[in-house]
Structure 1
Amino acid sequence: MHAQSIEYETVAENATPDVSPVLYVLPSPSVDDPPAEPVRADASAPLLRPDDLGVTRGDGIFETINAVGGRPQALEAHLARLQRSAAMLELPAPALDMWRRAVQHAVAAHPPVPELLLKLVMTRGVEGSGRCSGWVVAFPNSDFSRERAEGIAVLTLDRGYPADVMTTAPWLLQGAKTLSYALNMAALRHVRALGADDAVFVSSDGQVLEGPNSTIVAKLGHRFVTPPNDLGILAGTSQARLFEWAQRRGMSAAYDRLTVDDLHRADTLWVCSSGRQAVPVRSLDGVPRTWDADLHAAALAHLLTA
């Protein structure tokens, strides 16, 4: 274990290359639409009508994919999650072939950068139209090298829901990746105002859930653990790739319930997301933490492969 003895300032996102985004609009985002190829559009021009339900209600879904070396990571897992989110919102099923093509076109059209983020968005469309809106936009990922190397400060926040909310109140759409992110952004603003970098939500009955835009992974001995999806949290794509890597190295990986005490006793604690991949937690609720720097470096090197 390697202790981190330096006190760090709150980490800010570093500047990205000045490269214009690449936008592809999907005339046929759902299987209900007549098939039509994605069309490149001007990313600086207006795209949505003001009465699109994605704008007025946050009624839609999205995915964010990192592409390294021109190759989208976990593309099929992201498309499957997009499909699950659509089903939970009772949206028409996404036309996955069209989304796949739009992603491939956007990657090919964008100038080479070390890491490229692709945001896939599907809304319920203009109110009363019965047609969904969909697009893929590609832009350079932020430089997360400092966070990946030095770790981040995390605070736990009460989600205000019990652990079984997914079954007792399915209309809350826990476990769907929706455009309704106001609460998630409010949580991030709250912890950053307190000098931290990120948050991890905890259920009202003490179960660790997820971050506002991330998955939590704890290494407890030779066991990698993340909370199960039946707690109403998203299935993590970067976390799944981390689990596959750990299992190939002879360690076990499990979806199991965790408490905040479990997080404090973890050998290494990661926050995983498509953009950051995996960043270690250097403090939890103000308590300094250590992590296995060699293990983290090896895991990160794997996650950053194409």
Structure 2
Amino acid sequence: MTALVFLDPSHPAGRVADAASPQLSVLDQGVTRGDGVFESALYTGGVVRKLEAHLARMAVSAASCDLSMPSAEAWRAAIATAVAAYDAARPSSGPGAAAGTAGDTHEAVVKLVATRGLESAGHGTSWVAVSPASELGRRQRTAGVAVVLLDRGYDSTVAERAPWLLMGAKTLSYAVNMAALRHARRNGADDVIFVSSDGRVLEGPTSTVLLAVRDGDTKRLITPMLETGILPGTTQGAIFAAAEAAGWELGYGPLVPQHLMEADAVWLVSSVRLLAPVNSLDGIDIARDARLHEELTAMVDAIR
């Protein structure tokens, strides 16, 4: 089941559409060229988590692509319409937990998409789709993932040298990311961490890399540097804010694969799967600190 709402100036709260029927022109440049941007947020307990962070990052991505997009206010209105339609179409997730209420444990993905639209139209196409979250993602929060390291084919300074590559923007051009995941699965792994051609740790195809190091009573979280051209992680940012408030130290690379091997714990972090511990890298088991994972999971569960 998917609830679909298009952003339409003639419908201030968004235009509800049938997701099971054709809605998008095959000539839309989001389809023909992958020319557009998107965000995916987690909806659970009646809340679209980190909504403002997602809207802010989407605006930055759109600006990087010179893409005109609806206002944040229009997105909020369409999102409210979409989640209300989604909740109305599904049963509650348990006794005393009505759909869309604080006690509702059901998880859904709220996907925001903005394309350049038809070449002749002079305006883009934007919509919100709400659909159930993957059961696999929930399992990986506890079971963890086996990861392979893959060369991204760029060095770590390309973002500054070649801004037209749109490194750090969340665009619809995800064919390479999906190919990397298929390659990993063909080789017995679950996920990927990209490494630059000069040996720097970057990010996953759909996630941010996060590692933790213990030094006595000191706990430190580290993530790759944004200057390497990675996407700024909204969940990573929220975890860093919570960890800093809890007395953890924070760090931003530069990281190389050996840092991952030597860490006390490594995670792939994303908005919908949340915190997935890494069990192995290139077939080699790495440390997985259960206590650190429990602490960070509590921080993630508190994010709104």
Which residue of the partner structure matches residue 224 of structure 1?
221
Which residue of the partner structure matches residue 22 of structure 1?
3
Which of 29, 36, 42 is the equivalent residue of 1:53?
A: 29
1:126 aligns with 2:118: yes
Whole-Å Cα distance in 1 between the matches of residues 84 and 192 of structure 2?
Answer: 35
**Retained in 2: the 8 A contact 1:117–1:140?**
yes
Which residue of the partner structure matches residue 296 of structure 2?
299
Which of 53, 59, 64 is the equivalent residue of 1:83?
A: 59
Deviations 1:108-159 (A, max 9, x none): 2222362111000000001121110000000111123321112100011000
Please list, as runs of the form range in 1=range in 2, the aligned pairs for 1:188-203 lying within 5 A after superposition.
188-203=181-196
Deviations 1:264-304 (A, max 9, x none): 11111000011110110000111102212122123223323
**Retained in 2: the 8 A contact 1:68–1:304?**
no
User: Which letter maps to 2:31?
Assistant: V
TM-score normalised by structure 2 residue count: 0.89
Whole-Å Cα distance in 1 between the matches of residues 225 and 122 of structure 2?
Answer: 35
**Retained in 1: the 8 A contact 2:12–2:77?**
no
**Retained in 2: the 8 A contact 1:70–1:108?**
no
Whole-Å Cα distance in 1 between the matches of residues 161 and 138 of structure 2?
Answer: 41
Which of 203, 208, 215 is the equivalent residue of 2:201?
A: 208
Which residue of the partner structure matches residue 173 of structure 2?
180
Whole-Å Cα distance in 2 between the matches of residues 102 and 145 of structure 1?
Answer: 27
Please list, as runs of the form range in 1=range in 2, the aligned pairs for 1:131-280 lying within 5 A after superposition.
131-143=123-135, 144-221=137-214, 222-280=219-277
TM-score normalised by structure 1 residue count: 0.89
Which residue of the partner structure matches residue 82 of structure 2?
106
Shift of residue 67 of structure 1? Answer: 1.4
User: Which letter maps to 1:135?
Assistant: W
Deviations 1:7-49 (A, max 9, x none): xxxxxxxxxxxxx111110114xxxxx8843111111111110
Residue aligned with 2:235, SS: helix
Shift of residue 223 of structure 1? Answer: 1.1
Specify every segment of 5 or more residues in structure 1 that has no aligned partner in the other structure, as ranges.
Answer: 1-19, 29-33
User: Which letter maps to 1:247?
Assistant: E
Q: Number of matched residues?
A: 282
Closer, same or farther: CA 93–39 of 1 in aligned 2, 3 Å: closer
Deviations 1:84-119 (A, max 9, x none): 000010011431110111112222222236211100
Segments of 4+ moved more than 6 angstroms: none
Whole-Å Cα distance in 2 between the matches of residues 186 and 35 of structure 1?
Answer: 38
Whole-Å Cα distance in 2 between the matches of residues 101 and 228 of structure 1?
Answer: 34
Which residue of the partner structure matches residue 92 of structure 2?
none
User: Which letter maps to 1:22?
Assistant: A
User: Which letter maps to 1:90?
Assistant: D
Residue aligned with 1:145, SS: helix
**Retained in 2: the 8 A contact 1:153–1:284?**
yes
Whole-Å Cα distance in 2 between the matches of residues 148 and 300 of structure 1?
Answer: 9
Two-structure CA RMSD over aligned residues (Å): 1.4
Please list, as runs of the form range in 1=range in 2, the aligned pairs for 1:273-292 lying within 5 A after superposition.
273-292=270-289
**Retained in 2: the 8 A contact 1:79–1:96?**
yes
Residue aligned with 1:264, SS: helix
Deviations 1:201-247 (A, max 9, x none): 11101111100010000112221011121211111011112212211
